[in-house]
Amino acid sequence: MESFDYVIVGAGSAGCVLANRLSEDPAAKVLLLEAGGEDTADEIHIPAAFAALFKTQWDWNYETVEQKHTGKTAYWPRGKVLGGCSSINAMIYIRGNRADYDNWRDAHGCAGWGFDDVLPYFKRAEGNQRLGGELHGTDGPLHVEDRRFTHELSEAWVDSAVAWGLKRTDDFNGVSQEGAGQYQVTCKKGQRWSTADAYLRPALGRPNLTVRTNAQTTRVLLEGTRAVGVSYLSGGVSVDVRASAEVVLCGGAINSPQLLMLSGIGPAEHLREHGIDVVVGLPGVGENLHDHPACGIIWSTKDTSDIVDSATPAGMIRYKLTKRGPLSSNIGEAGAFYSTLSESAPPNMQIHVAPTLFYDNGFREPTTPGFTSAATLVDVASRGRLRLKSANPLWRPLLDPAYYAESADFDAMLQGLRDLIEIGKSGPLARYLDKPFLPDHHDLTDDELAEHTRENTQTLYHPVGTCAMGSSENAVVDSSLRVRGVDGLRVADASVMPVVPRGNTNAPTIMVAEKAADLIRG
C-alpha cells in the first residue's frame, strides 16, 4: 500500500490551503485527493459566469429534503472540482463579525478561536490590493481586490441604502461590519482567484506533494481507533493509501460528516440502522446543520442596462483581451450589513444586490432588464441535521437545514424584505426601477409577504456546523480540530464551525485551514 505522511481529503477552499502549507516541509509527504476534476472550464475563471457552473460536472448538485416551513426542497450547489466552492462561488470576500469568533470561544469552548486569535490567519491568507493596516494582509496568496466593473444600479442601490439610513462603508472587514457598500472579491486582475490558484498551483512543483483528481474517498481506514489511511475510488477501482501521521478531512459541511459516518464514526443507532459497525459513537456528527437562507425582491428596470446584455461574443472577446467590462463582475456587486433588531446588536441581515434578474439560483432566464436585491439571514437560530440515506458512499446524504424552524428567523427575514422594498423607494435607485417583478406588487399584506418568502427562499451557499468544534458532549472535534475518540484524524473545513459567521463563508473556511496547518505542524 502506498504511504504518505498526510492524506488530505478534498481539494476545496480548505484542502488546497493545507496541501500548500503541509508540503512546505520538504520532509513531509502529502497526498491530496479530489472527487472532481481539473478547474479548466472557462466559466470557472470568468467571474460573471459562476451560475453557469451549477448542475454541471463541477457541482455535487445536492438537494435538501422538503422543508417543513417552506413546503419546498432547496438546491445546494457545492464545488466538485479543484478549488471546491472557491471555484464556483460569487467571490465575495467577507470574514464575518468579531462577535462570531468571540462567541465560538466563549459559548462553545473553542479555545484559541476568538477574533484576536484568528485575525493573524485571515491576514496571512489575504493579499488585499487596496486595504492594509492592522486588520488586513497585503501579501498573502489570496488576492482580494476591488471589482474591475461595477454597474450603475449597484452604485445607485448603495446611495439609496445610505439615504434610507445605513452608513456608507468601503470595508466590510474593517473595525465595523455595519453599513452599505461594494463588496471586494477574490479575483486577480479581473479573473477569479480560487484556492486552487492561490495555494495549490504554486505548490504543484514540489516533489513531496501528490494531487489526484477524480478520486472520491469512500471511507477512513481505521486500526482500532486510529486513522491509518483512506480508501478512494478511481476509475471504478477501490484504492487504499496509508497516512503515517494524519488524515485530514476537508470535504466541507456535507462530505466530511458523511465520510465519518461511513467510517463508523457518528451517532451509533443511526449507523447501525445502515449496517455500519460503530467504531466511535459521536452523536454530534451530522447535527447542527445550518445555512444562510436568502430571499429576493426584484424589479424590472428602465433607462439602464442589464448585465446579461454583455453575454455576447463581443463581450467575451473584450473580457478575454482586457479582463475588464461586465464579465469581470461577480454579479452580487454590492450590499450591506445591519441589524433588524437594534442598532447596537451585531448584524443579523446581509444584503446582496445584482444588476439583473437573479432568482432560483439563476436558473430562470431573464425575461426583462431587471434588478435584484436579496435579504440574507446571517444570525441563524434554526438547526437541522445531515443523515445517511445509504451505506453506499456514492449515495447523497439527507440534508435538512430546517429553514425557519425557529420563528425568529422567519420574522427577521420578513423585516429584511420590507426594508428592501423601502430602500427601492429611496434615493437615486428609484428612477431606474420600472415596476415590481417578484413579487408582482409591493403593497403586500403580511400573509402575502410570508407566502412570497416561503416560495422563494433559497440557499446563500453557506452550510456549516456538521462536525462542530467545541467542548460540549455534541462537539465532534476539539479546539485543535482532532476528531474526538480517534487518533490521527482531523477535520478542517466549514463543518467545524459551531455557528455560521455573519457573512460569506469562503474567507472563514480558508482561515480555518490556515490555522489547522499550524495546529498540525505544532
In this prediction, residue 109 carries a pLDDT of 98
Question: 443 with 424: CB under 8 angstroms?
Answer: no
pLDDT computed for residue 91 by the predictor: 98
The band of 343, judged by pLDDT with boundaries at 50, 70 and 90, is confident
Q: Is the model's pLDDT at 140 over the cut of 90?
A: yes
Q: Which of 45, 292, 442, 462 is catalytic?
A: 462
Do the domain assignments include residue 112? no
Report the pLDDT averaged over residues 472-476. 96
The count of domains in the chain is 2
Instruction: Give the amino acid at 7.
Output: V
By C-alpha distance, which of 91, 67, 87 is closest to 77?
A: 87
b/e burial code for range 383-403 (CB count within 10 A of at least 16 → b): bbbbbbeeeebeeebbbbbbb
Q: Are residues 431 and 373 in the same domain?
A: yes
Whole-number Å distance between alpha carbons of 43 and 48: 8
Structural contact between residues 112 and 511, judged by C-beta atoms closer than 8 angstroms: no
C-alpha cell at 265: 464514526
3-state DSSP assignment of residue 76? strand
User: Given pLDDT bands bounded at 50, 70 and 90, which one contains residue 264?
Assistant: very high
Residue at 75 is within a domain: no
Q: pLDDT tens for residues 290-330?
A: 999 999 999 999 999 999 999 899 999 999 999 999 999 99
- Same domain as 159, residue 238: no
pLDDT at 366: 82
Listed residues 456, 474, 496: the one ending a domain:
456
Q: Is residue 95 part of a domain?
A: no
CA distances from 9 to 27, 181, 218, 235 (A): 20, 37, 10, 17
For 419, the domain range is 148-182+293-379+405-456
> Does a structural domain hold residue 86?
no
Q: Quick check: is 114 in a domain?
A: no
425 and 480, same domain (yes or no): no
Confidence of residue 493 (pLDDT cuts 50, 70, 90): very high
In this structure, are 300 and 437 located in the same domain? yes
pLDDT of the residue at 367: 86
pLDDT for the residue 340: 97
In tens, the pLDDT along 24-69 reads: 999 999 999 999 999 999 999 999 999 999 999 999 999 999 999 9
Q: Which residues contact 120 (CB under 8 A, 6 or more apart)?
A: none
Q: What is the pLDDT of residue 329?
A: 98
- 278 vs 275, 466, 477, CA distance in Å? 9, 18, 18
Predicted confidence (pLDDT) per residue in 345-381, tens digit: 999 999 999 999 998 888 888 889 999 999 999 999 9
Q: First-to-last CA distance in the chain? A: 27
In this predicted structure, what is the pLDDT of residue 398? 98
Asked whether residue 411 is domain-assigned, the answer is yes
Binding residues for FAD: 81
**CB distance 431 to 412 below 8 Å:** no
pLDDT at position 336 is 98
Q: Give the pLDDT of residue 241.
A: 98
Does residue 364 fall inside a structural domain? yes
Average pLDDT, the chain: 97
Q: Point out the annotated binding site.
A: 81
Copy the grid coordinates of residue 510: 480558508
Which residue, of 417, 438, 456, is where some domain finishes? 456
In a domain, 48, yes or no: no
Span 324-349, average pLDDT:
96
Cβ–Cβ under 8 Å, residues 454 and 72: yes
440 in the same domain as 337: yes
Is the pLDDT at 406 greater than 90? The verdict is yes
Q: How far apart are alpha carbons 326 and 307 in whole angstroms?
A: 6
45 classed as catalytic? no
Write down the pLDDT at residue 393: 98
**Which amino acid, one-letter code, is at 498?**
P
One domain, residues 440 and 313 = yes
- pLDDT at position 239 is 98
Question: Of all residues in the chain, what percent carry a pLDDT higher than 70?
Answer: 100
Q: Are residues 300 and 369 in the same domain?
A: yes
Q: Is the pTM of this model over 0.85?
A: yes
262 and 222 assigned to the same domain: yes
Among 414, 437, 456, identify where a domain stops.
456
- 202 and 159 share a domain? no
Q: Please, which residues bridge with residue 294 across strands?
A: 376, 458
> pLDDT for 432-468, tens place per residue?
999 999 999 999 999 999 999 999 999 999 999 999 9
Given this model, what pLDDT does residue 504 score? 98
Q: Are residues 329 and 369 in the same domain?
A: yes
385 pLDDT higher than 90: yes
**CATH value at residue 355:** 3.30.410.40
Residues 347 and 492 in one domain: no
Both 202 and 338 in one domain: the answer is no
Q: Is the pLDDT of residue 426 over 90?
A: no
Please report the sign of the dihedral spanned by the C-alpha atoms of residue 354, residue 91, residue 111, residue 472.
positive
CATH number, domain of 217, equals 3.50.50.60
